[in-house]
Amino acid sequence: MQRLIKVILMVLLSIGLYGALTVSYLTVTDIAPCPTVVNIPACYLVTLGYLLMFGATLLAHNNKAKWFFIAGWTPVVLLAFVGSVFELNQGDICPKGSMGIALCYVSLSFAMLVAVLFALLNKINALKV
């Protein structure tokens, strides 16, 4: 069960990281810039967040992994939440995916799901000790 959860988590984080990198590339090339937060494109912060969560999942057996995960997860979920609220209220705030869905909704869903899976993985790891 532990291995299955970790694989699912890694796949989801890989998809999230790929999406964040894609939006970051579109921002760098000025094809479709993402919104900025304190003059930093939000997609860069999301990319860094997914990298930290990915690394924390690789090191899930380490006690410090939880803090790396939280450090990555917090900006991702906050930006996704705020972006989703603005998208609902004002529209056309978040970059859209190929199916026209605002990526902040996708990112918020991913962030919530990976948090649950990471917590479950840590709980299983703690029971094994």
Could you tell me the residue ranges of all domains in the chain?
Answer: 2-128
Q: From residue 72, give the alpha-carbon distance in Å to each of 17, 45, 67, 94.
A: 11, 9, 9, 20
Q: pLDDT tens across 42-57, in order?
A: 999 999 999 999 999 8
CA–CA separation, 107 vs 20, rounded Å? 9
CA–CA separation, 14 vs 127, rounded Å? 27
Give, for 20, the enclosing helix (H) or strand (E): helix 2-28
- Locate the DSSP E strands across the chain: 36-37, 40-41
User: Which tokens in the block code for residue 82?
Assistant: 């705020």
β partners of residue 13: none
CA–CA separation, 106 vs 114, rounded Å? 12
Q: pLDDT tens across 44-101, in order?
A: 999 999 999 999 988 867 778 889 999 999 999 999 999 999 999 998 888 787 888 8
- Locate the DSSP E strands across 7-113: 36-37, 40-41
The answer to whether the CB of 70 falls within 8 A of the CB of 76 is no
Read off the pTM. 0.86
